[in-house]
Amino acid sequence: MRLKQYGKESLLDRYAELPLKGKVPPGATDADREFFERFAPGADKKKSGMKRFTIPCDFAGKKYPFHVYILTGPRGYAELQDQFRWVAEIRGGEVPAEVRANFLRLNQIATENNVDFMELCVSELGSEQPKKEK
């Protein structure tokens, strides 16, 4: 699943056996080594993580806050679209068109500028967690 998320399905062809999380397979190239090490304990979570955002969703005419999770890597936007579809098909809700359009715009910017979609969302939308009022 992680390989698909990061667009690294080709690793399945290069390594007969994939290592445990955070371990590096014998004979790994430098680029592959860097990828596998992202998942080791203590690794930089910005390279392999996800961020939670709260978006408004409409459920039978009522607006409710709903958490979505944006993943780092080239499939970040596709994974977000899967969550939007889940809201509609399973929960019977609707993500407002404006919210979908804003994320699509950010994905286009990320693609055009070769930056990570998740990191762009954090920088453009602010903190992934709403600030708690005291």
Which pLDDT score, from 0 to 100, does residue 2 have? 65
Q: How far apart are CA 45 and CA 58, in angstroms?
A: 32
Residue extents of the structural domains in the chain: 2-43, 50-125
Phi first, then psi: give them for residue 96, nearest 5 degrees: -55, 145
Which pLDDT score, from 0 to 100, does residue 130 have? 42
pLDDT in tens, 14-34: 888 888 877 888 888 898 888
Instruction: Look at the alpha carbons of 104, 109, 110, 112 in this order and tell me if their dihedral is positive or negative.
Output: positive
5 pLDDT tier (thresholds 50, 70, 90): low
128 pLDDT tier (thresholds 50, 70, 90): very low
Q: What is the pTM assigned to this prediction?
A: 0.66
Q: Are 26 and 18 a contacting pair, CB within 8 Å?
A: no
More confident residue, 43 or 13: 13
More confident residue, 97 or 24: 97
**pLDDT score of 47 more than 70:** no
Please give the single-letter amino acid code of residue 44: D
Mean pLDDT in residue range 32-42 = 79
